[in-house]
Amino acid sequence: MKPNEAGVKAYFTEDGSLPGPTNPKSKPYDAPLVFTAAVSLRVQCFDAAGKPVGGEFLNSFVHMPIQMTIEGADEKFDSLGRSRGRTFKAYREQVVVKFSTPTGEKLRYRTTPPEAQPPTPDLEYTGPITIDHGTSFWVGKGKDGYQLITGVGDDGFTPNLLTDPGVEVSVSHTSAGDKKFITDGYVDPGSHWNGVGQPAWVQFKLPNAKKINKLAVFCWWGDGRAYRYHVETSMTGKDGEWQPVVDMKQNAKPGDGGYVHEFSPVECRFIRISMLGNTTNDHNHLNEVRAFTAEQ
């Protein structure tokens, strides 16, 4: 560390207390510091009269003898920058967790608390661990307890299958808007797809077959109009192999707040919405469509 102004001296503490010449725990900085354990470093400059100059420098250095990497999860932080854990989207079926040390030492781990009853032994870490649900980890090296205690969990939300990047969206035609708005995750009346007239349809192809039991359909709203449509599902997407799941062909209910449909679980890879205009005109606005799996 080096003061930016002449004639001042830097004082530091390693225990989080206020630095300065009046604090017996504070030391003047004379040479580079070496830490072998976690430390909360506070540094402040003082002039010859002992008056503080400028602001404090604060930093925490944490000893992490075990590193952790995750494929498919994001670390979340609160407003103060503290970790809130690593979460993965619920539509992901698997997440890969890896542990390592800079020196390649052998590691042991457990996914139940050490004090759990009945007691369970530690497991030897031999390579990446694949999980499909929220999991806590206690990881240690040698006989010195657990140097890493952390958790990986799903985000707690029921997944909208149609925001999966692997979903393919096709439409009969476009008169206004863009089909990307149908699965962008947002319900905005100004951002929609519209196919005027008949036939007008939107089809979704999932990356893998899923068992669904709920759909939410958001059409344009604002003047009390009601939209009419019907929904079918299929495993193949071929003619003659579609199963009806929603019938709104005679709908007279305004679409404020969207239409939510629940039905018996049906396994499918294709979802098709056939639009039939609305009670005001033959426009077929779709702001957003969401599909939910019965398996979650």
Looking up residue 243, the CATH number of its domain turns out to be 2.60.120.260
Q: Is the pLDDT of residue 108 over 90?
A: yes
Same domain, 165 and 263: yes
Average pLDDT over residues 279-287: 94
Other beta carbons within 10 Å of 264: 7
CB contact set of 82 (below 8 Å; sequence gap of 6+): none
Q: Does residue 2 sit within a domain?
A: no
Same domain, 143 and 173: no
The domain total for the chain is: 3
Final residue belonging to a domain, choices 128, 154, 180 = 154
Instruction: Identify the weakest region by mean pLDDT among 30-34, 48-52, 158-162, 250-254.
Output: 158-162
As a whole number, the mean pLDDT across the chain is 87
What are 16's two structure tokens?
């989080």
Q: Does residue 3 sit within a domain?
A: no
Q: Is the pLDDT of residue 82 over 60?
A: no
Q: Is the pLDDT of residue 75 over 70?
A: no
Q: What is the pLDDT of residues 138-179, one digit of tens each?
A: 999 988 788 888 877 765 556 789 988 899 999 999 999 999
Final residue belonging to a domain, choices 119, 138, 154 = 154
What is the rounded (10 degree) CA torsion for 258, 262, 267, 273? -30
Rounded to an integer, what distance in angstroms lies between the CA atom of residue 195 and that of residue 172?
Answer: 8
Same domain, 150 and 170: no
Same domain, 79 and 112: yes
Of 103, 86, 97, the C-alpha closest to 123 is 97
What's the number of CA atoms in the CB half-sphere (13 Å) around residue 166?
9
Residue 158 or 197, more confident: 197
Are 141 and 107 in contact by the 8 Å Cβ rule? The answer is yes
Note the pLDDT of residue 102.
Answer: 87
Peptide linkage before 159 cis (omega within 30 of 0) = no
Residue 178 sits at the vertex; the CA angle it makes with 176 and 184, to the nearest 5 degrees, is 140
Confidence at 134, pLDDT banded by 50, 70, 90: confident
Q: Does residue 208 sit within a domain?
A: yes
Same domain, 227 and 269: yes
Same domain, 264 and 206: yes
Q: Does residue 260 sit within a domain?
A: yes
Same domain, 204 and 273: yes
Rounded to an integer, what distance in angstroms lies between the CA atom of residue 122 and that of residue 105?
Answer: 16
Note the pLDDT of residue 155.
Answer: 56
β pairing state of 285-286 and 227-234: unpaired
Rounded to an integer, what distance in angstroms lies between the CA atom of residue 251 and that of residue 231?
Answer: 13
Rounded to an integer, what distance in angstroms lies between the CA atom of residue 88 and that of residue 154?
Answer: 5
Are 233 and 242 in contact by the 8 Å Cβ rule? The answer is yes
Average pLDDT over residues 45-65: 87
Q: Does residue 95 sit within a domain?
A: yes
Are 29 and 12 in contact by the 8 Å Cβ rule? The answer is yes
Q: What percent of the chain has pLDDT over 70?
A: 90
Residue 171 or 134, more confident: 171
Rounded to an integer, what distance in angstroms lies between the CA atom of residue 170 and that of residue 30?
Answer: 68
Same domain, 231 and 138: no
The amino acid present at 175, given as its one-letter code, is: S
Same domain, 50 and 105: no
Note the pLDDT of residue 110.
Answer: 93
Q: What is the pLDDT of residues 112-124, one digit of tens each?
A: 888 888 888 999 9
Phi, psi of 180 (to 5 degrees): -60, -25
Q: Does residue 239 sit within a domain?
A: yes
Residue 8 or 81, more confident: 8
Note the pLDDT of residue 79.
Answer: 54
Same domain, 182 and 265: yes
The secondary structure element, H or E, covering residue 59 is strand 52-61
Note the pLDDT of residue 149.
Answer: 83
DSSP state of 19: P
Same domain, 289 and 193: yes
Same domain, 46 and 99: no
Q: Does residue 242 sit within a domain?
A: yes
37-46, 87-96, 186-195, 282-291: range with highest mean pLDDT: 282-291
Note the pLDDT of residue 91.
Answer: 45
Q: Does residue 265 sit within a domain?
A: yes
Residue 230 or 103, more confident: 230
Q: Which residues pair with 278 in a beta bridge?
A: 227
Of 203, 205, 202, the C-alpha closest to 193 is 202
The residue range of the domain holding 83 is 67-154
Rounded to an integer, what distance in angstroms lies between the CA atom of residue 182 and that of residue 169?
Answer: 9
Final residue belonging to a domain, choices 125, 154, 183 = 154
